[in-house]
Amino acid sequence: MFITFEGIDGCGKSTQISWFEATLRENGIPSVVTREPGGTKIGQAIRDILLSLDNTCMVPLAELFLYAADRAQHVSEVIKPALEAGKWVICDRYFDATTVYQGVVLGRHEKLIEQLNRETTLGCKPDVTLLLDCPAEVGLERRTKRDKRRDRFERKTLDFHIKIRYGYLALANKYKDRFRIIDSTLPEDQVARKIREVISPYLPESDLNQP
């Protein structure tokens, strides 16, 4: 089972992933929780380059190829082997993030983005993608409260984050079978419950009726 979490910055993914990880552990489900960019040693180095405030001059195409490099390494080293070993893989951002973020940043090159997404993922497609949706203002406010030192991405304008939000919603609408939209303005425990409801059909039989 391969589950990805997506959403704008500050949508609450990290908190929800920790809750979800605990649920899987309680249910004895072998799982790997990982993230992009930065799910491998090489990926962590790529992440540092991508998020560093020293690199504000990075051109959008360079950014696209760095995300692709991170993913190629991550899929081969972590995601594919874990899925082949029968584990659940929970990934904080995946190729949908490239489609949406680099799609907005580049404003063209859809075919190149599609091709890179296809080549780097080696056929590992998420079974379920949870889109934690909230208004961009809410996401930005949460991020600012959490960490005053904002990285390169969080210095982007509100307008940028609004475009990302609608980019994700459009993608969710296009791939209805895979995406589930979760209202992440709700209190944390309610969001966690909704995620559990979405995933419960995939959990072992005995877990279906737990509160």
Binding site for ligand TYD (CB under 6 A): 9, 13-14, 36-37, 67, 92-93, 97-98, 101-102, 153
User: Among residues 112, 120, 150, which one has the least CA distance to residue 43?
Assistant: 120
Q: Which is nearer to ligand TYD, 154 or 207 (CB)?
A: 154
Please tell me whether residue 94 adopts helix, strand or coil conformation: coil
* Lookup: tokens for 176: 């209805």
Q: Which is nearer to ligand TYD, 67 or 88 (CB)?
A: 67
What is the smallest separation between the CB atom of 131 and ligand TYD, expressed in angstroms?
13
What is the smallest separation between the CB atom of 209 and ligand TYD, expressed in angstroms?
33
Helix axes of 60-74 and 110-121: crossing angle, nearest 10 degrees: 20
Please tell me whether residue 62 adopts helix, strand or coil conformation: helix
**CA separation for the pair 67, 116 (Å, rounded):** 10
Q: Which is nearer to ligand TYD, 64 or 128 (CB)?
A: 64
Q: What's the distance, Cα to Cα, between the start and end of the chain in Å?
A: 22
Q: Which is nearer to ligand TYD, 153 or 202 (CB)?
A: 153
| Under 8 Å between Cβ of 57 and 22 | no
What is the smallest separation between the CB atom of 102 and ligand TYD, expressed in angstroms?
6
Pairing between strand 31-35 and 2-6? unpaired
What is the smallest separation between the CB atom of 137 and ligand TYD, expressed in angstroms?
15
- Residue 133 phi, psi dihedral angles, 5° rounding: -105, 130
**CA separation for the pair 103, 173 (Å, rounded):** 16
Q: Which is nearer to ligand TYD, 44 or 210 (CB)?
A: 44
What is the smallest separation between the CB atom of 67 and ligand TYD, expressed in angstroms?
4
